Structure 1
Amino acid sequence: MALDIRRQIPATFDRVDRSKYGYNAKQVDEFLQRARTSFENPVGTADQVASVDVRAVAFDPIKGGYDANSVDAALDRLEDAFARRERDDLINQQGEEAWLRQIGKLSGILRGRLHRPDGERFRRPSRKGARSYNVHDVDALCAELIGYLEHDQALSVDTVRRAVFRAAKGAEGYEEAQVDAFLARVVELMAAID
């Protein structure tokens, strides 16, 4: 069944007040046009977009820009659509076993970190006083992820996408970049499974 990309993203987004910051509308429109073109013409399109590109895209803040929450929600739907297509393409080209191997490999990598002891899952920032994530908050999400991956407990990919952790300083917390990279892989896995 073909996906209609127009259902994933609206033609336009609400803007925030002129005195508030939102996403740069020109950058959002350009990226979404590139994504539409890539999705509708998956073969032979220059500058191809994949689910990982949708997950990683960032826009400059600008006064009076697009409402960030609306754009983020549309990007989440778009990422899911790309992930489903990538999964279906892999299955069609190499078979379901290839997809299961890919999922199993990624799941194994993630589980390795998830099964580390609380307080030891991620490295601590090397710079004293650097911003970091609260260890207990991150470990709590990791416990939920173990429940999702190993005990069929319900957990939405959007819960992971929107996870917010209290701030910590330096070695009191986990290094933000490492946690963020790990969670990006978790989202990749969950989007491919769901």
Structure 2
Amino acid sequence: MALDIRRQIPATFERVERNKYGYNAKQVDAFLSRARNSFENPGNTADPVASADVRDVAFDPVKGGYDAQSVDAALDRLEDAFARRERDDLINQQGEEAWLRQIGKLSGILRGRLHRPDGERFRRPARKRTRSYNVQDVDALCVQLIDYLENDQPLSVDTVRRAVFRAAKGDEGYDEAQVDVFLDRVVELMAAID
């Protein structure tokens, strides 16, 4: 069953008030146009888009720009659509065993970190005044992820995408960049599975 990407992504988004910040409309429109073209014409675009590109895209904040929540929700749907297509393409080209090996490899990497003891899953920033994530908050999400991966407990990929952690300072918390990269890989895995 082919996905109609135009139904998933609106032609335009509501803007925030003129004195508030939203996403740069030109950047959003340009990326979504490129993504639509890539999705509808796979293999026939000069600048193809993959699920990782959708996950990693960032837009400049501008006053009066597009509402960030609406754009983020549309990007989540778009990422899921690309991930499903990438999974289906891999299965069609190399078989379900290849897909299962890919999922197993990524799952194994993630589980290695998830099974570290509480308080030791991620590095601590070296500088005392560097912003970091609250250790207990991150560890609580990691416990949910273990339950999802190993005990078939339900967990939405959007829960991981929207995870918010209290702020900490320096080595009182986990390094933000390392946690963010890890969670991107978790989203990649969940999108490929679901």
Same fold, judged at TM 0.5 (above): yes
Partner of 2:184: 184
Q: What aligned pairs does 1:17-166 form with structure 2 within 5 A after superposition?
A: 17-166=17-166
- The alignment partner of 1:62 has SS state of strand
- The alignment partner of 2:62 has SS state of strand
Partner deviation per Cα, 1:73-115 (whole Å, 9 max, x = no partner): 0000000000000000000000000000000000000000000
CA shift, 1:7, in A, is 1.6
Aligned length: 194
- The alignment partner of 1:18 has SS state of coil
Q: Which runs of 5+ in 2 are unaligned?
A: none
Partners of 2:188 and 2:84 lie apart in 1 by 11
Partners of 2:183 and 2:38 lie apart in 1 by 25
- Using the aligned pairs only, state the percent identity: 87
Q: Which runs of 5+ in 1 are unaligned?
A: none
TM-score by length of 1: 0.99
Moved over 6 A (4+): none
Structure 2 residue 15 is matched with structure 1 residue 15: yes
Partners of 1:146 and 1:8 lie apart in 2 by 31
Partners of 1:48 and 1:165 lie apart in 2 by 33
Partner deviation per Cα, 1:34-68 (whole Å, 9 max, x = no partner): 00000001113111100000000000000000000
TM-score by length of 2: 0.99
Larger mean CA deviation between 148-157 and 41-50 belongs to 41-50
